[in-house]
Amino acid sequence: MIPYGKQTLDDDDIAAVVAVLRSDFLTQGPAVAEFESALCDITEARYAVAMSSGTAALHASLAVAGIGPGATVAVPALTFAASSNAARYVGADVHLVDIDPSTLNIDVGLVPPTADALVAVHFAGLPVDLTGLTGRPGVVVEDAAHAIGARTPDGPVGNCARSDMCCFSFHPVKTVTTGEGGAVTTNSSAYADALRQFRHHGIAKNPQDPFWKYELSMLGYNYRLTDIQAALGTSQLAKLDRFIAARAQIAERYREALGSKAGIELPPEASEGFRHGHHLFPIRVDDRDRAFDDLRSAGIGVQVHYVPTHRFAGFEHALGSTELPHTDAAADRLISLPIFPTLSAADQSYVIETLQRLL
Ligand SMILES: *Cc1c(COP(=O)(O)O)cnc(C)c1O
């Protein structure tokens, strides 16, 4: 089966991990600090705080921003469940917002003025244009799980030019992997300190106190990344430009081959000044469920991104869940084709020919 996404690991990635296994630190140590510094270089953010997953990064961001019971968090309905679950972890209400069908991203014009926070998801790797956000909610968190290496006219995604914090995921299907892992970038030293405390049980240390002494001034979790994972992440980040270029080339080939094909709607492209991260290549077709079965039967591991959040138990009565016509229309037609740096030209040709034959 040709998967829809897959990690790219070279011998130097493996060597970086083995070097940590031979060192004194296994969990959070010098390799995590090095990874965070590499993330700051790439995103141009002042601070990066590594986390055990992208989900932990989202939870931590909303928690340290003071979002809790009684607060409302606006989230697009077309995203992975973790984007909305983060609001529920802190006891906040979720307000699901419809997408703009021309970008598949949240329609920022529909973010309710009463929302206390927004989780802006860069769907498929196309950055949300946050300049259109009027009446900015108190807290803006970017869910950039799909968008490392993408850019807006303000610079790299993760620089937090129009947000408070930006969350990344390093799950193997994402553009850069640590096995499991995530990070938050921010330009606020207060948020960075709170995020570090949150990922380490809420423990706070006063440098004047004896080494054994600490306080628990907030409820935290064990959301640490290991040095084993961080070493892999630093090695992977060094190849980010290559990964993005390879993904862009695969996307371009799909566009050329499928663009004129009736019955296929290609994914939205980045507009002037933006760079797409091409995490996914989600086309829209009419008989999606049949195309899904036929492609899987032909050995092509397509996937659906996503079952929209309001169709899950626990979210069906979420605020906004009855006002999602564009999400519903897209969700029934979306299907993601294979895209990852090591997808061979022959395998991509097979995907294209199979699609052309089936539709
Ligand atoms: C993958 C993903 C997450 C969660 O990341 P994990 O590292 O798997 O916890 C959150 N949001 C979106 C949009 C994702 O695709």
Q: What tens digit of pLDDT does each residue of 328-339 get?
A: 999 999 999 999
Query: Which phi and psi angles does 51 have, rounded to 5°?
Result: -135, 165
User: According to the model, what pLDDT value does residue 88 have?
Assistant: 97
Tell me what pLDDT residue 304 has.
98
Alpha-carbon distance 89 to 92, whole Å? 8
Tell me the whole-structure pTM to 2 decimals. 0.98
Nearest 5°: phi and psi at 96? -80, 135
- Whole-angstrom Cα distance, residue 166 to residue 182? 11
Tens of pLDDT, residue by residue over 119-169, are 999 999 999 999 999 888 999 999 999 999 999 999 999 999 999 999 999
DSSP letters for 250-263: HHHHHHHHHTT-TT
pLDDT higher than 90, residue 12: yes
Q: How far apart are CA 169 and CA 166, in angstroms?
A: 10
Q: Which of 225, 156, 223, 141 is nearest to 188 (CA)?
A: 141
Q: What is the pLDDT of residue 256?
A: 97
| 257 alpha carbon – ligand 1 mean position (Å) | 30
Residue ID of nearest Cα to ligand 1 atom 7:
54
Percent of all residues in the chain with a pLDDT value above 70, rounded to a whole number: 100
Ligand 1 pocket at CB < 6 A? 53-55, 79-80, 82-83, 121, 143, 145-146, 169, 171, 182
Task: Give, for 337, the enclosing helix (H) or strand (E).
Answer: strand 334-337
Residue 346: partners with Cβ closer than 8 Å, 6 or more residues away: none
Q: What is the pLDDT of residues 160-211, one digit of tens each?
A: 999 999 999 999 999 999 999 999 999 999 999 999 999 999 999 999 999 9
Helices 54-64, 189-198: axis angle to 10 degrees equals 120
**Per-residue pLDDT at 262:** 84
Q: 320 C-alpha to center of ligand 1: Å?
A: 22
Q: What is the pLDDT of residue 136?
A: 86
Centre of ligand 1 to C-alpha 84, Å, is 11
Say how many C-beta atoms besides its own lie within 10 A of residue 336's C-beta: 20
User: Which of 7, 55, 309 has the most ligand 1 atoms within 8 A of CB, as the residue to mutate?
Assistant: 55
The pLDDT of residue 153 is 98
pLDDT at 359 over 90: no
**In ligand 1, which atom is closest to the CA atom of 180?**
7
Looking at the predicted structure, is the pLDDT value of residue 72 above 90? yes
Q: Taking 90 as the threshold, does the pLDDT of residue 222 lie above it?
A: yes
Rounded-to-integer distance, Cα 291 and Cα 298, Å: 10
- Nearest atom, ligand 1, residue 56 CA: 9
Burial 84-105 (b: 16+ CB within 10 A, else e): bbbbbbbebebbbbbbbbebbb
Mutate to test the pocket of ligand 1, among 52, 99, 169 (most ligand atoms within 8 A of CB): 169
**pLDDT band at residue 260, thresholds of 50, 70 and 90?**
confident
Rounded mean pLDDT of the chain? 97
* Residue pLDDT, tens place only, 20-40: 999 999 999 999 999 999 999
Q: Which two tokens stand for residue 140?
A: 């803006």
Active site residue 174: yes
Mean pLDDT on 276-286:
97
- Tell me the C-alpha distance between 354 and 347, whole Å: 10
Number of alpha carbons in the 13 Å side-chain half-sphere of residue 84:
28
The active-site residue, picked from 6, 174, 213, 239, is: 174
DSSP string, 162-201: T-SEEEEE--TTSSS--SS-EEEEES-HHHHHHHHHHTBT
- The total of other beta-carbon atoms located within 10 Å of residue 40's CB is 16
Do the strands 264-265 and 300-301 form a parallel or antiparallel pair, or are they unpaired?
Answer: unpaired
